[in-house]
Amino acid sequence: FDAERASAGLVEAVKAASKAKLTPVDAALYKVRAVKNPAEVALIEKSCEFADRGIIHALNHLEGTLWGPGYTVAEYAERVRVHTFESGASGVGHIVTAFGDDTRLAYAPHRGDVEESMLIRNDITAHSMGYWCSISRMAYTGYAPMEVEDAYAENQYLKSVAEEQLVPGARCDKVYVKVASEAEKEGIKLHGPIIGHGVGCSHREAPYIVPGNPDELRVGNVIALGVETL
């Protein structure tokens, strides 16, 4: 049985009804799920499309109402969730809409009002028929100052470096080392111990692009890049 996804109540009920000995097969499923077939990839792509549209539609609402009557951060977060469903998602997991200084935090309460000249971080996980995506989008309310433009350019550069390394046979730890060394060379502050992970039956699964992981990337892996810079 799939111990990671089966509830304790279900497992105990099956044991009581069948008197069978149940054996977890999570180790085998861990490796199998990391490789997706074309139909699975199509569902993951759809989940990305739905979540992306949800964020964009919420930003469209924000664009016309920032100066009156305006939105609270909680209202904006709810717009992202609703539009993700309206775009076609079959489920939504985590949502973070962080503004201003709160964008530095992994999970900040949805508090305050949306105002001009604020950096926005939109994080959302959603699925299409059970296949997940993990999406982050940044936005700025108004015309971004040069320091924000520069920070965006640095982040996108490191993401492009990471993307170039995502080829079959590449070791996860070496992909991380390449990005980290490039960040150091360019004077970019890389944040966090992970720069990417797999998505599929879960919004976060193997393979993990982290230091010390010798797993090699394979054809059929689907990776969500999460390169965080300061």
Which candidate, 138, 102, 112, places its Cα nearest to that of 123? 138
For 159-184, how does the pLDDT look when each residue is reduced to its tens digit (9 = 90+)?
Answer: 999 999 999 999 999 999 999 999 99
Count of other CB atoms within 10 angstroms of residue 147: 8
Report helix angle 146-165 to 172-186, nearest 10: 150
Q: What is the pLDDT of residue 19?
A: 80
H or E element at residue 90: none
What long-range pairs does 3-9 form, CB within 8 A, spacing at least 24?
A: 4/29, 5/201
For 87-146, how does the pLDDT look when each residue is reduced to its tens digit (9 = 90+)?
Answer: 999 999 999 888 887 777 777 778 888 888 888 889 999 999 999 999 999 999 888 999
C-alpha 23/C-alpha 11 separation (Å) is 11
- Residues 6 or more apart whose Cβ sits within 8 Å of residue 222: 36, 41, 44, 198, 199, 200
Supply the mean pLDDT for the chain. Answer: 90
Q: How far apart are the first and last CA of the chain?
A: 42
Whether the model pTM is above 0.95: no
Mean pLDDT, range 184-207, rounded to an integer: 92
Count of other CB atoms within 10 angstroms of residue 80: 25
For 211-224, how does the pLDDT look when each residue is reduced to its tens digit (9 = 90+)?
Answer: 999 999 999 999 99
CB-count exposure of residue 127 (10 Å: 0-12, 13-18, 19+):
buried
